[in-house]
Amino acid sequence: MRTALRVNARGLVVGTLTSFAVMAAVVVLLVVTSFNDMATHANALDDARSRETTRGALDTFRQQLGLTLNDYAAWDDAAINIYSRPNMFWVISNYGEMSKDSDLFDITMVIDRSGDAVLSYKDGVPVSMPVASFFDPSLQTLIERAENPAPGEAPEASGFVRTKAGIAAIGVALVRMKDGSIDVPPADYKYLIFARHLTAEKITNLSETYVVQGMALADTDAAAANFVAISNADGEVLGKLVWTSRRPGDASYSQIWPRVLAAMSIVGVFFALLFSVGWIAIRKLRSAERRAWLMSLQDRLSGLWNRSGLFGKLDDLIEEASVTKSDVLLMYLDLDGFKGVNDSYGHGTGDKLIRGVAVGLRQLSPADAVIGRIGGDEFAIALCADDAAQTASDLGDIIQRFFAEPLLIDDHVAVVGCSIGYAISRAGVTARDELVRFADLAMYRAKEAGKGRTIAYDATMEEERQLQKELERDLQKAIEADELTVAYQPLVRARDSEVVGFEALARWNRKGHGPVRPDVFISVAETSGLIHALGRQIMRQAFTQAAKWPEKRISINISPAQFRDPGFVHTVAGMLTESGMDARLVSLEMTEGYLVHNTARARETIARLKALGVKIVLDDFGAGFSSIGYLRQFGFDRLKIDRTLITALDDGHRAKEMLQATVALARSLEIPVTAEGIEREDQAVMLRLFGCDEFQGYYFGRPVSAAEIEEALDASSGKPMELSAEA
């Protein structure tokens, strides 16, 4: 009986202890579960608040743009300067230039009823930005809403839209008086468009203002636990505004376990200390070895991979692509105008430019791209991509936009361009050496095509490169054999059409091929370095022949490469003496491009040439920068209006007003004006009325040989020389 009682008592105690243990476990489990449920609920509440706050932030972002748009569109001055008394200067000042550094909008456009842009500005700078291609189709929905507002609503609409620059809040509003009236027919209505991009900076500001942690813009297919979709007017989801959950419940929950974590930490400290001592020593040795290896593969000036490092990485990419079946893209970049920066500002500035370009390429290229400097001003970018052609196109556009802006280096402003060629190794099939050669060929094609562009390699470049080399070889032989000739196009006085001079034009009849266009062989001469010899030969012929034509001016085009030659002024002086040509009758024509990149040297060279007695003519005015500052600074003896301004006369009053203003500008600076490219009598009459004092063009005479000019001079017998005009 007692034994049974002890057993029952032990069982009772064990059962009781077990029960208490189970109860304690259940209680602990319930407490832990309760805390977990509380934490989960707190997290859910906080996420819901953040979601509503984020949605409100987006609405406020759009509404701010709408309110700003209303202020600018419903504006009496705007209606007057756009409809009643069109004033483009007012529109640019109050709409276009206001987009610079504005927190409220970064794109301003004024469009007509047909959707064509009357004004396009981005960040305070005029841009060519077709509405249909820059914005997604939902913009048309907003335009239609603004055109057909509901009764009692303003002719305005706003929403979100995808642009080529990202996602933006956009608003469309009819330009009208403050009271809503408008006194022009609907066909003449103009609409104001403001766009405000959701940039990283603006999203950061929203995050800080609305106290939503880690707010960022994500793609539509990006996985995200917390997001608010951004949709356009057509209901298409453009992206997501995501944020990082603060998870306050988890923070509270974690406070329960600090001692547990401390205990676990103490357990591992001892072993961690023993392990770390040996590990640190090994890592230091490995780190030193890796630094030495990396330094041997890096370019010291730019910090990028050097040629060896780039080629090694390129081999790795090709090997990887052969396994993953992705493509390897190799882009070769050459800076246009880098030599001019070195010549003008010194090699120290040139080195800083190289470092600046390196930093820019790192920022613009994908994170996994391999970037190298392979020569003085040549760079390369290599990466694996599923759609390498599209990647090359997109990255090329980004880089070209980067180089389109002037670069500030210390106190100097450097304007350089970039020629890009690229080649693709499909699934890693093309070996490294071939890929490098293809990209190099494409880069040189980009330079030959006019620089500042991105060109893909194709198989015809091999053959064309060979033809180019043959053309260079034949041109060199022709120059050495003195086979190039000069044709002369008359320059006539505007008031009486008397021939007062000639422009010397180079001609080449290639043996076995026939005549070669001047723009072709002169371009070859400039890229191959033959331009100096070619220029001397043409100048010698022109001076020698023109010296026989009394009181007839001779005008010669000068390549920027010739102008950069330190011995160019000495060459001109020698040829004047050799030919007996009167320096006062010689005009050297140059374009604005060299002035932009080499202001100081250009000023010095022009002064030395004018000291010889020759005249300096600014050619193609109106086709480039057309800066009044250059006209004042360099003291040109004559200005030659580009033929594009002449042909534009057929486009209407705006072109006429622009041309008339250009001539008036030159006349106000007491610079005589020559108009070239005149092909019709009505053009000559109009330009004479505008104030041009000299003409050139097929209407007055096509280029002729020296023999024809001498024959005409003999026939004139002291009378004003006349050449038959050809329409």
In degrees and rounded to multiples of 5, residue 265 shows phi and psi of: -65, -40
In degrees and rounded to multiples of 5, residue 100 shows phi and psi of: -80, 130
CA distance 646 to 649: 6
Specify the pLDDT at position 113: 86
Specify the pLDDT at position 10: 55
3-state secondary structure of 129: coil
Specify the pLDDT at position 379: 95
Q: With a cut of 80, say whether residue 291 has pLDDT above it.
A: no
- Token pair 């020559």 is found at 674
Amino acid residing at 424: I
The residue-averaged pLDDT of 35-40 equals 76
DSSP secondary structure, 191-215, as one string: EEEEEEE--HHHHHHHHHHTT-TT-
Of 685, 618, 675, the C-alpha closest to 647 is 675
> Under a CB-based contact definition with an 8 Å cutoff, are residues 65 and 105 in contact?
yes
pLDDT in tens, 609-628: 999 999 999 888 876 555 66
In degrees and rounded to multiples of 5, residue 411 shows phi and psi of: -100, 10
pLDDT in tens, 545-565: 999 998 899 999 998 888 888
Q: Tokens at residue 509, please?
A: 């009849």
Specify the pLDDT at position 2: 43
Helical H segments across 297-427, by residue range: 307-324, 338-345, 347-364, 388-404
Cα–Cα distance list, 302 to 288, 299, 311, 362, 386 (Å)? 21, 6, 17, 11, 29
Of 626, 616, 707, the C-alpha closest to 663 is 626
Q: What DSSP character marks residue 74?
A: B
pLDDT in tens, 636-646: 899 998 888 88
CA distance 534 to 2: 129
User: Half-sphere exposure (CA, 13 Å, Cβ side) for 663?
Assistant: 20
Amino acid residing at 301: L
**pLDDT over 70 for what percent of the chain?**
89
Strand ranges inside 12-67, DSSP E: none
Top-confidence range, 152-156, 316-320, 455-459: 316-320
Specify the pLDDT at position 5: 46
Cα–Cα distance list, 281 to 218, 294, 473, 538, 584 (Å)? 42, 20, 63, 73, 81
Return the number of other C-beta atoms located less than 10 Å from residue 322's C-beta. Answer: 14
User: Half-sphere exposure (CA, 13 Å, Cβ side) for 276?
Assistant: 6
Specify the pLDDT at position 595: 67
Of 438, 301, 440, 439, the C-alpha closest to 373 is 301
Which pairs from 185-189 meet CB under 8 Å and 24+ separation?
186/113, 187/113, 188/83, 188/112, 188/113, 189/112, 189/113, 189/147
pLDDT in tens, 269-280: 755 765 575 567
Burial class (CB in 10 A: 0-12, 13-18, 19+), 266: exposed
Q: What mean pLDDT, rounded, does the chain reach?
A: 85
pLDDT in tens, 350-403: 889 999 999 999 999 999 999 999 988 899 999 999 898 999 999 999 999 998
Task: Tell me the pairing of strands 117-122 and 107-112.
Answer: antiparallel
Return the number of other C-beta atoms located less than 10 Å from residue 371's C-beta. Answer: 22
Of 718, 343, 308, 345, the C-alpha closest to 498 is 718
The residue-averaged pLDDT of 32-46 equals 77
Confidence of residue 727 (pLDDT cuts 50, 70, 90): very low
Burial class (CB in 10 A: 0-12, 13-18, 19+), 605: buried
CA distance 464 to 468: 6
pLDDT in tens, 567-604: 899 999 999 999 999 999 999 998 876 666 567 788 88
Q: Residue 611: in which H helix or E strand, if any?
A: helix 599-612
3-state secondary structure of 427: helix
Instruction: Give the total residue count for the chain.
Output: 727
Radius of gyration of the CA atoms of the chain, in A: 37
Distance of alpha carbon 44 from its chain centroid, rounded? 46
The residue-averaged pLDDT of 256-275 equals 67
With vertex at residue 105, the alpha carbon angle to CA 100 and CA 109, rounded to the nearest 5 degrees, is 85
Across the beta sheet with 327-336, the strand order is: 370-373, 378-385, 327-336, 417-425, 454-456
Distance of alpha carbon 327 from its chain centroid, rounded? 26
- Token pair 């001109």 is found at 572
Task: Tell me the pairing of strands 485-493 and 499-510.
Answer: antiparallel
CA distance 360 to 401: 11
CA distance 515 to 509: 4
Specify the pLDDT at position 314: 94
User: Half-sphere exposure (CA, 13 Å, Cβ side) for 645?
Assistant: 24
Q: Residue 464: in which H helix or E strand, if any?
A: helix 460-480
Q: Residue 524: in which H helix or E strand, if any?
A: helix 518-528
Specify the pLDDT at position 361: 94
CA distance 286 to 459: 45
CA distance 88 to 118: 9
Helical H segments across 154-257, by residue range: 200-209, 248-254
Residue with the larger pLDDT of the pair 594 and 169: 169
3-state secondary structure of 708: helix
Task: Tell me the pairing of strands 216-218 and 237-242.
Answer: antiparallel
pLDDT in tens, 230-244: 998 888 998 888 988
